[in-house]
Every structure is written in C-alpha cells, then in structure tokens.
Amino acid sequence: MYTRVKKDQFEIRDGVYIHRPTEAEFAPNPNSEGSMLIYTGNINSKLASGELFAYYEVLQVMKVLWEEVSRNQARVAEAILVE
C-alpha cells in the first residue's frame, strides 16, 4: 500500500522541487514547457519509516505544486509591472 503524497512534503530550493521523504528532485526547465530533470531518489522503495511512495503520485503532486507556484510568480511579476 502506497503512502499518500501531500504538497507539504515538498520544499523548493534554488528552483528545484524536492520531495523530502524520498529525496526525489524535480528541476523544471523554464525554457521548455513541461520539460524537467528528475532524480527519483527513493521513490518506489520502502523507506526506513515504512512508507512507500508511488512515482506517479509524487510526480503528479509536484506538477500541481509547480503550476501553483508558477501562477503565483506570474501574478507577482504582473503586479510589479503595473506599479
């Protein structure tokens, strides 16, 4: 049984999205929509805590988070231009 993936399990450091429990890293390429470098870390491996995370779900939650952060950054940039 897989452990549920939640957005609060991620941190963003230097533009890289890191899933803390598995240490998986996703580095979106801003020059190529939908393109990213991926280090899978311990996804699909049982962790010492007994948790097991599914690759597909970790990737899906990361993409949702990425889209939310991108929209917020676009709003901030737009607000700065208006000022």
In the chain, what are the domain boundaries? 7-82
Helix (H, G, I), strand (E, B) or coil at 23: coil
Describe the chain by its helix, strand, coil percentages, rounded to 5.
Answer: 35, 20, 40
Give the C-alpha separation, 18 to 41, whole Å: 10
DSSP 60: H
Q: Which residue has the higher pLDDT, 82 or 35?
A: 35
Please state the pTM of the whole predicted model: 0.81
Closest CA to 52 of 80, 22, 31: 22
Give the C-alpha separation, 18 to 15, whole Å: 10
Looking at the chain, the whole-number percentage of residues with pLDDT higher than 90 is 52
Q: Indicate whether 77 pLDDT > 90.
A: no
